[in-house]
Each structure stands twice: as structure tokens, then as C-alpha cells.
Amino acid sequence: MQVQKGDFEAINLLFSKCLWRVRQLAHRMFVAHKSLQHFEQSDDLLQETLIRLHNAVVKLKPDTTRAFMALALQHARWALRDLARDMRRRKEIYPLGNLGSKIPDIRVPSGEPEDLLDWEIFHQQAENLDREPRDVFEARFYGGLTFEETVDLLGLSLRTVKRRWKMALNQLGNNFRDGWPNPG
């Protein structure tokens, strides 16, 4: 693995992919809660995630791409869970009054969580998945990987990846409508 050999370009590519996906997922939370954007910007989240991930990589020194991605996806999940928790708390502490009515939150048509508590619960539920379905779920949802890319990353058959994806969705339960979560 190039990362193990200290190839900084390979390390930067893996970091970039992870952070790009964290930005996408954070944006999905911000879309429904426009009134909260002045509290937290996605760049702050990315910076915090990058620092946490860098510290973990330096300390743990993952020896395979799979180990690195598992670490990166775990940190992405934690960052998004913490963001949802922080946004919810700030909304409770600092009600926006008239400002909030000028920038209304919008209804999310895709079935994604509309409430920050639901986002926080969702990320916590993802953390509590059984290990094998969680690996697939993290690769697909937090990593944004296709089924085929997940097969390559985890070294599993396509059938196993699809089965574990369904297991993860079943373990998450019917808390969200319309077949959400959609990894894309």
C-alpha cells in the first residue's frame, strides 16, 4: 500500500476523498436547516475532521487501504454525529426569533431526517450496527462508494456486500421514510 510506504500523494488522495464525502453529508443536514448555517460552517467541520483523522492515522498507522478507510469513515461518522448534536444544542440555547422566520428551514422531500435529533440518532444507530454490516454501510453511506467499489475495498463478493447493505438497513430499522438512507 502506498500509504504505508509514506507516499504523501496517496495519503492526500485518501484524505481528500474522505473529506469531500463529509462535506457532502454535512451539506445534506444544512439544506434542511438553513437557519443554523451561521452557527456552523462545513469548512469548520472539515477542518476538525481532518485534524482528528490525521491524529488517528499518525497514532494508529493503518497498514492497508481498508484499515485507513475504516478509520476515516469512522471519524466522518463521529464528526457528523457531533455536528448534529452541536447544532441541535445551539438551536435550543440560541433561539433565532424573528431571524429564524426570515430563513425558514425547508422540508426534506427525500425522506432524510428533518430534525437535528433524528440526524444525531441516525449517526448513533449507524455506530451501533453489527461490525460486518457497519463496514459496508460506512463504505456506501459515509464513503459514498458504489457496490463495486465496496467490493474492492472490503475484498468481498458483490452478493455479500449487497446482503450486508440490506442487513444494515434492516438493523437501522424503519426510522426513515422512502428507502432513506441513499448513499449517493
CA–CA separation, 75 vs 142, rounded Å?
Answer: 10
Residue 148 pLDDT: 93
**What pLDDT, in 10s, does the model give residues 14-58?**
777 777 777 777 777 666 655 555 445 566 777 777 788 888 888
Task: Check residue 161 and give its pLDDT.
Answer: 97
- Work out the pLDDT band at 97, boundaries 50, 70, 90: very low
- pLDDT tens-digit map of 82-95: 877 877 777 776 65
What would the mean pLDDT of 52-70 be, rounded to a whole number? 82
Any idea where the domains of the chain sit in the sequence?
A: 8-172
Query: Which of 17-21, 122-126, 159-163 is the least confident region?
Result: 17-21
Helix boundaries (H) for the chain = 8-32, 42-60, 65-93, 98-102, 116-127, 131-137, 147-154, 158-172
Q: How many CA atoms lie within 13 A of 71 on its CB side?
A: 22
CA distance 65 to 13: 11
Q: Please, what is the end-to-end C-alpha distance for the chain in angstroms?
A: 27
Confidence of residue 104 (pLDDT cuts 50, 70, 90): very low
Mean pLDDT, the chain, as a whole number? 74
